[in-house]
Amino acid sequence: MQLEDKQLMRLLSNSNPLIIHHWDADGVISATTLANYIGQGIDFESPPFKYNLDKNYLEILSLKSESHDIIIIVDLNLPSKVLAEISSITNKPVISIDHHTTNDIPKSLSIVYYNPAKNGDPEGLWPSAAHVVAILTGIYDPLLISSSIAGDLDNEAKNNRIFKKYMDEIGLDPEKDFDIPKDCAMQIWGAEALGKIDIIKNLPSVLAYGGIDPCAALMRDPVLTTLRNEAEEELNNLINKADTQLEKITDYFYAVMINGNGRLISKISRTLASKYPNRLIMVGYLAKSTNDASIYIRTKRNDINFSKISEKIKILGYQVGGKSQINNNVIGVEIKPESLSEAYSNIVEIIKKELA
């Protein structure tokens, strides 16, 4: 179901929701921004790094939602089937607010779907879900929203006009002061990278109701700082390893398979895609800390049909998500750890055919 902005705002402001957010900086900041608008009494959840929710976790959601009248999902591009499962097991309406590219739009009357970027966002007008929430509610902390964009776009944020607008609002220079929002996002990223979901889902209430400047609170937190340092050290080692082992498949298509402790595939693939802007980079990765396997396909090139590749991977039955913005084209595929090498060869073949 689609609602007008005003109807949706009225629904949000009168609700007492359980907010389920993505486990990254943008997800945490989207939940925080929404909570600041709605007020007290909100509970927060973040799924344990999975887009397909198992029976046990759905049961947990059902229990947690008992004292709430609605479920709001932010920055989490769950399949419409999963949104329907959540609504059905909790017996509550679901509102999903997102900015990922998708053609899997829920049709059920119990699901409100709000995503201005669903058909793609070539101009980067919706660089973060927190920005979608900020536009909708009109209440936001510009440094936090800048951080959500730095988290999702990394260095590419410097060229994003929405990012520039928020930085301008606080009197910061998008280039020279980039490290201020970036550091704030990286503090959240460390906990995400090392699989600390309990820390992640505690952050929105600390940031929304803690009463101190949220970015300062993130920077000062010693646990977050330790996790971030540990994750950054491993990340640098793995980027070098992946770069050395990158294998040429055809022309400009390169791929590599590695593993490590942290959940680091997104930044590894992003770094390689930035280092080689004319290549299409594919990374297969197993994160041992959470036993998550995934494949990321990434490029700064804008002449490759990413939605077609994405569709072909979906047909093989994999969980696929992604974004298609200028200079930021990404497909993420969630794989069962035991099927990683099989999926890796299947997807290499799909891309080879698509590029031929």
Stretch that binds Mn ion, among 110-118, 122-130, 161-169, 238-246 (CB under 5 A): 122-130
Residue with tokens 């073949």: 349
Compare residues 185 and 255 and give the one whose CB is closer to Mn ion. Answer: 185
Stretch that binds Mn ion, among 33-41, 71-79, 116-124, 168-176 (CB under 5 A): 71-79
- 129 near Mn ion, rule: CB under 5 A: yes
Shortest Cβ 352–Mn ion spacing (Å): 30
- 25 near Mn ion, rule: CB under 5 A: no
Q: Which of 45, 121, 141, 152 binds Mn ion (CB under 5 A)?
A: 152
Stretch that binds Mn ion, among 58-66, 125-133, 193-201, 222-230 (CB under 5 A): 125-133
Shortest Cβ 130–Mn ion spacing (Å): 8
Encode the chain in three state secondary structure.
CCCCHHHHHHHHHCCCEEEEECCCHHHHHHHHHHHHHHCCCCEEECCCCCCCCCHHHHHHHHHHCCCCCEEEEECCCCCHHHHHHHHHHHCCCEEEECCCCCCCCCCCCCEEEECCCCCCCCCCCCCCHHHHHHHHHCCCCHHHHHHHHHHHHHHHHHHCHHHHHHHHHHCCCCCCCCHHHHHHHHHHHHHHHCCCHHHHHHHHHHHHHCCCCHHHHHHHCHHHHHHHHHHHHHHHHHHHHHHHHCEEEECCEEEEEEEECCCCHHHHHHHHHHHCCCCEEEEEEEECCCCEEEEEEEECCCCCCHHHHHHHHHHCCCEEEEEEECCEEEEEEEECHHHHHHHHHHHHHHHHHHHC
- 75 near Mn ion, rule: CB under 5 A: yes
- 221 near Mn ion, rule: CB under 5 A: no
Stretch that binds Mn ion, among 69-77, 205-213, 241-249, 276-284 (CB under 5 A): 69-77
Shortest Cβ 243–Mn ion spacing (Å): 26
Compare residues 101 and 299 and give the one whose CB is closer to Mn ion. Answer: 101
Compare residues 45 and 152 and give the one whose CB is closer to Mn ion. Answer: 152
From CA 29, how far away is CA 12, in angstroms rounded?
17
8 Å CB contact between 350 and 295: no
Compare residues 188 and 239 and give the one whose CB is closer to Mn ion. Answer: 188
- Of 237-256, which residues contact Mn ion (CB under 5 A)? none
Name the residue number minimizing CB distance to Mn ion.
26
Stretch that binds Mn ion, among 109-117, 146-154, 245-253, 297-305 (CB under 5 A): 146-154
Shortest Cβ 97–Mn ion spacing (Å): 11
Compare residues 26 and 45 and give the one whose CB is closer to Mn ion. Answer: 26
Shortest Cβ 134–Mn ion spacing (Å): 13
Shortest Cβ 278–Mn ion spacing (Å): 26
Site residue total, Mn ion (CB under 5 A)? 4
Stretch that binds Mn ion, among 57-65, 68-76, 180-188, 319-327 (CB under 5 A): 68-76
Shortest Cβ 31–Mn ion spacing (Å): 12
- 26 near Mn ion, rule: CB under 5 A: yes
For the range 3-10, what are the long-range contacts, defined as Cβ-Cβ under 8 Å and sequence gap of 24 or more? 3/112, 3/114, 5/136, 8/95, 8/112, 8/114, 8/136, 9/136, 9/137
- 153 near Mn ion, rule: CB under 5 A: no
Binding residues for Mn ion, rule: CB under 5 A, are: 26, 75, 129, 152
